[in-house]
Amino acid sequence: MSVTIDGATDGDVPAIVAIERAAFSDPWSAQSFREALDHPAVYFACARRDDAEVAGYVVAWFVADEGEIANLAVAPDEWGGGIGRALLDAALDEGGRRGAQAVYLEVRDSNERARRLYRSRGFEEVGRRRGYYRRPDEDAIVLRRTLMEQDV
């Protein structure tokens, strides 16, 4: 099966919320996702399999010359299939198109699967936010990827 990445729609929000709740202990609300849909600084995309079902999503903000990956999740039954990598690459490509020179994100200290993905795409640790996450309390590792001319 192939994967396509395209813009999220209001009709995708229920599937996105279900993935969000499966992936995170402190999930975003449906309203938070709906508010992101029409914001001009936001890149909000879904990964879909051939059956058009949402398999994952990414939400990124791009302002001036910086970006932030605010949320990225993949349905648990799709883990290991390259969907997270495809979503991250799409967001980085969009950042380059929008003139971002650096993209940041936070990741739970214990989330080794996500940290491996981010390392594989050139993200480097630049800081730590103590007690950033709730349920359970945990530090966030701040990562940065510099975008080069060849990235765009």
Give the residue numbers annotated as catalytic, written as ranges. 106, 118
Q: Please name the helix (run of DSSP H) or strand (run of DSSP E) that holds residue 36, with its range, or none.
A: helix 30-37
Strand, coil or helix: 93: helix
Do 129 and 142 form a contact (C-beta atoms < 8 A)? yes
Alpha helices (runs of H) in 38-120, residue ranges in sequence order: 83-97, 112-120
Among candidates 63, 59, 61, which has minimal Cα distance to 13? 59
